[in-house]
Chain A
Amino acid sequence: MKVHEYQAKEVFDAAGIPVPPGKVVTNPVDAYDLAVEYAKPVMVKSQVHVGGRGKAGGIKYAETPEAAKVLAQKIIGMDIKGLTVKKVLVTVAEDIITESYVGIILDRATKQPVIMVSSAGGVDIEEVAAKTPHKISKLYVDPVVGLKYYQARNLAYKLYREPSQVKKATDIILKLYDVFWNVDASLVEINPLITNTAGEVVAIDAKLNIDDNALYRQKEIAEMRDIDSEDPSEVEAREGDLSFVKLDGNIGCIVNGAGLAMTTMDLVKRYGGDPANFLDIGGSSNPQKVVTAMKIILSDPKVEAVLINIFGGITRCDDVANGIIAAFKELQPNVPVVVRLTGTNEEKAKQILKKVNLPFGDTLDDVVKKAIELGKVEVK
């Protein structure tokens, strides 16, 4: 799960990492009032879950409260990569002397957290990594031993020479490492970590992604979820306990298992269609899940055919068939629904589905081709 910059800064601030004063607002008048309160030039920063906000015009400098008001007016409601800006962070602008990068991610290969620092901050770190990898220093941390003071200090020396700044950066790196563990982060990032004219070291941007698997024990973070910024169908799917990702195509997919769901999408593309979504109904056999899945998919006007692909293991095909019958009763789909059910209780399922007389596919490839074909016919 991603949280917004302002929320990440709240977490960092609570951990003792210096961030500039700031608050999130939803209207220009509040932006004006805040700028007056701070009595300093401010930054007006759009809060949306995409990278490249600055390049898109979603981050601006305001010399005066009036300017902050005008800019907030402009940015709120702005569209950045398909997302509408609903909130802006108004935060005190810093005089920047240097810009560095500090980030911690989980390294899958070594099964350890890796801390990365670079004195080339403020820009896209992936670009730095690709073009000038020598500018990034990495430290793999033993998760059982934890991060030692000297290790953090070594990293700080990669960024600064001035002793007081090295000390401050050491402290920030140690605290950031604690944040990584304490909130079950999969990524924490300060880009840039700046030094200002007063010689202070400050995090002027903050990024924080949380491991979804840990949300059950990160209640405070889980409440930071910004449902407004998500696709409504993805919210509905999550509430229905379905794993779902909205895509742009015309073939709706209902599958059991993530790997098979991805494969089904791949084959839709391979045979000339375009998947409308990723959807995994999971291992359980609850017929209601099929109804919810159908509802979500059919609410997408682009969908021209629905493809149901089940390989029964724990999932019982007859349960899915009952779900399909219930979905037909409740939703009366006006696009073709093509089914392939194989594995546990396949024969029972086929008996149940006789009631609705649906086109069947025998293999994965068959059912995909059939769905694409029928989708086209219906459109004509």
Chain B
Amino acid sequence: MSVFINKKTKLIVQGITGRDGSFHAEQMKEYGTNVVGGVTPGKGGSKVAGIPVFNTVENAVSETGANTSVIYVPPAFAVDAIFEAVGSGIKLVVCITEGVPANEMMKVYPFVKSKGARLIGPNCPGLISPGESKVGIMPGSIVKKGNVGVVSRSGTLTYEAIWALTSNNMGQSTCIGIGGDQVIGTNFIDCLEAFEADRSTKAIVMLGEIGGTDEEDAAKYVKKYVTKPVVSFIAGQAAPPGKRMGHAGAIISGGTGTAKEKIAALNKVGIPVAGSPIEIPGLIKELMKGSKKTAAKKVAKKKTTNKKKK
């Protein structure tokens, strides 16, 4: 069991003949993903790593029955690629491309919704369900099949957290990078909902960062709907306001979006926030020991008493 992708995933790669597209198409295939085709207009009929290339997504879908697409095309064409995938009946679109204008994303999102499709990204590392399927660029070597669900706004920070889990013999059900941009398709809440419903997921790790209010919204959602233990980490505590920290979405603006606010919101609903990614496995173990609620209460209590002492 896993979330969003599994052995039934039939993947096409948009931009498969490009530098990144061809490299990762091969990597995904090696990992065991069922890569059924690629799309590059004008290159139809050729092959990349044994994968047939089509001129259009429409052709690729009708020939292969693909249900998922991953996009590696340059930023100026990425949004059209999303429109094309969704317009051709693809139900899961993962956009790896970084640097897509936010305005374009605002316009494509309602279309994705209206077709009942799911978009992950842009500016994301994609997702991986260990032992089943990998869509995107996450290194297959660091994951291990298991029952922790990981969702993150980052790339390499996600790898760091996954590696901490794997090193502690805690495997993952699915790891999802939702992307570091201001406007993204799938957010924390969507992933929390999926992990809550997934029987193979027993605990959830949520890696947030400064900017926006997605973590605060997720905290409220967890309080209401999530029964599984959730552990978090928030990057950017040392970040100054008003400066974009690499990710387009990682900016504290007008005093909102600080790490402090996010950590407070998470603690308030009993979600412990690790001080470093290496503390994540320990926090999960602690929460798994007791029932979710008592363990969470304990952690929250500890935090408040610490504060009082200060």
Interface residues of A (CB under 8 A from B): 106, 108-109, 111-113, 126, 142-144, 181, 184, 186, 211-214, 216-217, 243, 245, 247, 255-263, 265-270, 275, 278, 280, 283, 311-315, 342-344, 363-365
Contacts and interface: CB of A to CB of B under 8 A. Distances in A.
30 contacts: A106-B102, A106-B182, A108-B182, A111-B109, A143-B103, A143-B106, A144-B110, A184-B103, A211-B101, A211-B248, A213-B181, A245-B243, A247-B240, A256-B156, A258-B154, A258-B247, A259-B157, A259-B209, A260-B155, A260-B159, A262-B239, A263-B235, A265-B236, A266-B237, A278-B239, A313-B137, A313-B155, A342-B163, A343-B141, A365-B276
Contacts of B254: 126
B282 interface: no
Contacts of B213: 108-109
Contacts of B212: 108-109
B246 A280 contact: yes
Give the interface SS of chain A, mostly helix, strand, loop or mixed: mixed
Contact of B244 (A212, A283, A314): A212
Given A106-B106, A262-B246, 8 more contacts: A108-B182, A126-B254, A143-B103, A245-B244, A263-B277, A268-B238, A313-B125, A343-B139
Nearest to B153: A259
Query: Which of B153, B159, B233, B240: most chain A CB closer than 10 A?
Result: B159
Interface in B98-125: 99-103, 105-107, 109-111, 125
Contacts of B214: 108-109
Contacts of B278: 363-365
A327 to B, nearest CB: 21
A270 B275 contact: yes
A293 to B, nearest CB: 13
A255 B102 CA distance: 26
A259 B207 contact: yes
A46 B265 CA distance: 39
- 3 tightest CB-CB pairs across the interface, nearest first? A259-B154, A258-B246, A257-B156
Interface string B58-93: 000000000000000001100000000000000000
B20 to A, nearest CB: 8
Contacts of A126: 254-255
Contacts of A267: 276
A217 B249 CA distance: 20
Contacts of A260: 154-157, 159-160, 235
Contacts of B157: 257, 259-260, 262-263
B159 A343 contact: yes
Contacts of A344: 139, 141
A259 B102 contact: no
Contacts of A217: 76, 101
A263 B160 contact: yes
Given A109-B212, A259-B157, A262-B238, A211 B255 contact: no
A269 B233 CA distance: 16
A117 B179 CA distance: 31
Nearest to B246: A258
A265 B238 contact: yes
Contacts of B209: 258-259, 262
B152 interface: yes
A270 B250 CA distance: 20
B284 interface: no
